[in-house]
Amino acid sequence: MRFNLRTRLSISYIFVAMVCVMLISLAANLILERQFQGYVRGNLERSHRLIIERIRQQYLQTGGLRKEDIEAVGIAALEQGMILQIRDGSGKMIWDATVHNNGMCHQMLMHLSRNMLSRYPNWKANYKENRYPIRNNFKTIGTVTIGHYGPFYLNDTDLDFINTLNRILTVITLLVLMIALFVGWWMAKRIGDPIVRVIDSAERIAKGDYDLEHFEATQIKELYHLTHTMDALAQELKKQETLRKRLTADVAHELRTPLATLQSHLEAMQDGVWQLDDRRLQGLLDEVTRLNRMVKDLNKLAKYDRDHEVLRKTKFNLSELVQQIVYNFEPEFSAKGVTLSFQGDPLWVEADRDKMSQMIINLIANGLKFTPTDGKVEISIEGNGSEAVLYVRDNGIGIDAEDLPYIFERFYRADKSRNRSTGGSGIGLTITKAIVEAHGGRIMVESQPGRGTQFVVALPIHAA
């Protein structure tokens, strides 16, 4: 059977509270009962001593035991549940409660037995009599017989005390139950509400709705993590979804042109409008080559999207890495007749070495691609406060001002390069920028058409 959290918690709280209250009541009743019985017995003994003492006092005041004098003592004792018989030294009865008022004695005993039965339903009436001698200067001046229910009995005050105590315990029990109910409900609300919201959000995410409202802050650590993870999950999924949509749209857009060209050219040849000659076949082959290159680049992008979040950072000298890449590029540069130079101080960074290489290769490769023969590409590294700044400068074709803001976008190629056979797919700079930003750096570009381009990459230095 499945209960919701609120019911479950409330039941648990009530259960714990009930057990506590029951244990406390039990302990209170057991301990108090024993103490209380001891107290009542002590009281009874004290009353007996007091009665004897008062009779003795009467004797001392009047020099004998007279009925009129001791009657007050007997009546007071009767009111407290004791039936007195007082005899003088010769054994002659002076005052007897049953003789004085037998009806009242009877009534009083009935009343006490009712008291006792109300508290102890199994109580058996046990009437007993204690006989005490009354002495003065070692002389027995009389005897008193005190009859009462034994070994103890509860008069109205005693019973009131016990009943009040039980009433207090009952009220406390009710109060504790109410508090338990409230605390259970409140706790369940505090724990349950965020969980319900997480469930809601998960259901919405499952339906493809990633625009979740932000979760309210909760004081419970685990729930705080849970809601935050949920937030992060939604955001990540949203990002992935946007990427996927954009990629699909971009790919469709990129494929459309070469495929349309291929189709129209092939149709023209089929219809006999165009002759099938080497030049046209070459044109078709170029388009196919371009498609092929694009598919390869798409693979690169897919790979990058897959593992761009994971940075395997190590500490290394950035200048050394650039020097190595420059060295590898030299044959390609000299083949095209473009000069490549590098200068830089040793600067240590903590970064993903592979991704840094990819970023530097992209920039140098673009320099080579967009700089004509006899041009030059200069690379330098400088320390600037807490940053290592990499400059990749060329005196190539440059980028038009209207293209400049978009060159880091996916698949964006400036018109000039679009027409060139060297043109790539416009993915290199997108990846380059993402790598720099993933490392907490910035990338900037300045360019003048016909005069050249400079890329500036600033990366945090690793404080050795």
The binding site for ligand ADP (CB under 6 A) comprises: 362, 366-367, 370, 394, 396-399, 407, 412-414, 417, 423-430, 453
Bridge-based pairing of strands 387-394 and 452-460 is antiparallel
Could you give the C-alpha distances from 339 to 318, 324, 336, 376, in angstroms and in order? 21, 16, 9, 4
CA distance 175 to 229: 40
Query: Which tokens is 62 given?
Result: 């009047």
Write down the least CB distance from residue 265 to ligand ADP, Å.
Answer: 24
Write down the least CB distance from residue 287 to ligand ADP, Å.
Answer: 17
Write down the least CB distance from residue 364 to ligand ADP, Å.
Answer: 9
Write down the least CB distance from residue 415 to ligand ADP, Å.
Answer: 8
- Cα-based torsion angle of the residue sequence 49, 53, 56, 61 in order, rounded to the nearest 10 degrees: -170
Q: Is 333 helix (H, G, I), strand (E, B) or coil?
A: helix
Residue whose Cβ sits closest to ligand ADP: 424
What lies within 8 Å, CB to CB, of 141 at 6+ separation is 56, 59, 65, 88, 89, 134, 135
Query: Which tokens is 187 given?
Result: 């706790």
Residues in a beta bridge with 84: 146
Write down the least CB distance from residue 217 to ligand ADP, Å.
Answer: 42
Whose Cβ is closer to ligand ADP: residue 13's or residue 455's?
455
Write down the least CB distance from residue 353 to ligand ADP, Å.
Answer: 21
Bridge-based pairing of strands 139-149 and 83-88 is antiparallel
Whose Cβ is closer to ligand ADP: residue 346's or residue 450's?
450
CA distance 419 to 222: 57
Would you say the C-alpha torsion 31, 36, 41, 46 has a positive or negative sign? positive
Whose Cβ is closer to ligand ADP: residue 69's or residue 400's?
400
Whose Cβ is closer to ligand ADP: residue 201's or residue 425's?
425
Number of other CB atoms surrounding residue 431 within 10 Å: 22
Question: Kindly report the CA angle at 60 between 59 and 61, in degrees rounded to 5?
Answer: 90
Checking phi first, is residue 137 left (phi over 0); if not, alpha (psi -120 to 50) or beta? Answer: left
Angle, nearest 10°, between helix axes 67-79 and 97-119? 10
Whose Cβ is closer to ligand ADP: residue 142's or residue 424's?
424
Query: Using only C-alpha atoms, what is the Rg of the chain?
Result: 52
Write down the least CB distance from residue 366 to ligand ADP, Å.
Answer: 3
Write down the least CB distance from residue 396 to ligand ADP, Å.
Answer: 5
Write down the least CB distance from residue 347 to ligand ADP, Å.
Answer: 23
Whose Cβ is closer to ligand ADP: residue 185's or residue 412's?
412
Query: Which tokens is 126 given?
Result: 């046990």
Angle, nearest 10°, between helix axes 156-206 and 5-62? 170
Whose Cβ is closer to ligand ADP: residue 280's or residue 416's?
416
Whose Cβ is closer to ligand ADP: residue 65's or residue 379's?
379
Strands lying side by side in the sheet with 139-149 = 93-96, 83-88, 139-149, 127-136
Whose Cβ is closer to ligand ADP: residue 24's or residue 255's?
255
Write down the least CB distance from residue 434 to ligand ADP, Å.
Answer: 11
Is residue 97 within 8 Å of residue 103, measured between CB atoms?
no
How many residues are given for the chain?
Answer: 464
Give helix then strand counts, H and E, for the chain.
Answer: 10, 11
Whose Cβ is closer to ligand ADP: residue 108's or residue 368's?
368
Write down the least CB distance from residue 368 to ligand ADP, Å.
Answer: 9
Whose Cβ is closer to ligand ADP: residue 85's or residue 417's?
417
